[in-house]
Amino acid sequence: MTNSPHISLESLADIAEERASLETLPDAESHLAVCETCNATLQNLRRLLFLMKNDTTEDVPRDVLMSALNIFSPATPARLPRIIAVLTFDSRSAGPAFGMRSIRTASRQLLYRAQETALDLRVTVENEECRLAGQVIRDNCPGAQIELSGATGTVTTELNELCEFSFPAIPLGMYSLRVRMPDVEIEIPELELKD
Ligand SMILES: [Zn+2]
């Protein structure tokens, strides 16, 4: 998380729980003074802590706090324009040349387009698990992150210098995919990963 301009969730949680170290606090405070995103997250964390501490006198476990925060995160202000990507090609339905049994074990290719950006996705299913990899096709993709959210959680990865990415194996199911770039977010709201 050292590349992120924002305060890490861990640090925000420390601040919310009033156990941030004095060394990091001045930096965080000056960032919070100017960053609405981190402020919104911090406020959500404080609200969560308040709600949770009404339920129990014990300290809230960090992982419980983090997963509860995910419920709130759609409410944090999205300041970037978001473009919904549209499916333009699916090798599964692209006709006989792609539908042969002999390539059933090969990757399924999905192409999406969002204005001047294209997303080339490769879906490989093996042992009831799915591997999703691909490439963002665009003039440049500096510092872009790509995020895959589903019923079992969210995984995030970064594009390499060729704008390629790959996720670790995940369960089959319905996901949403987001590419976060400095100037825009591209989203595939419903990406069904199945055999
Ligand atoms: Zn921030």
pLDDT digits (tens, 9 = 90+) for 142-163: 778 999 999 888 999 999 988 9
CATH number at residue 108: 2.60.40.10
Does 123 share its domain with 174? yes
Q: Are residues 17 and 42 in the same domain?
A: yes
Ligand 1 centroid, distance to 81 Cα (angstroms): 18
| Distance in Å, CA 16 to ligand 1 centroid | 15
| Whether residue 112 is found in the same domain as residue 57 | no
Tell me the CA–centroid distance for residue 20 and ligand 1, in Å.
16
Instruction: Give the distance (Å) from ligand 1 centre to CA of residue 180.
Output: 15
* pLDDT (tens digit per residue) in 62-105: 776 776 666 555 544 556 788 899 998 988 876 555 544 444 55
Query: Which of 75, 101, 131 marks a domain boundary?
Result: 75
* Per-residue model confidence (pLDDT) at position 70: 64
The answer to whether residue 3 is domain-embedded is no
The domain boundary residue, chosen from 24, 41, 75: 75
Over pLDDT 90: what percentage of the chain?
31
**Ligand 1 centroid distance, CA of 37 (Å):** 5
Please list, in sequence order, all residues whose beta carbon lies within 8 angstroms of the beta carbon of residue 164, skipping any fewer than 6 positions away: 133, 134, 135, 136
Same domain, 117 and 144: yes
Q: Which of 19-23, 55-59, 191-195 has the highest mean pLDDT?
A: 191-195
- Look at the chain and report how many structural domains it folds into: 2
Q: How far is the CA of 146 from the centre of ligand 1 (A)?
A: 18
Rounded Cα–Cα distance for residues 126 and 99 (Å) = 18
Contact present, 172 and 193 (Cβ < 8 Å): yes
Domain with 60, as residue range(s), is 9-75
Question: What is the rounded average pLDDT for all residues in the chain?
Answer: 81
First to last CA, the chain: 34
pLDDT: which is higher, 11 or 22: 11
Provide the pLDDT confidence category of residue 13 given band limits of 50, 70 and 90: confident
How far is ligand 1, taken at its centre, from the CA of residue 31, in Å? Answer: 6
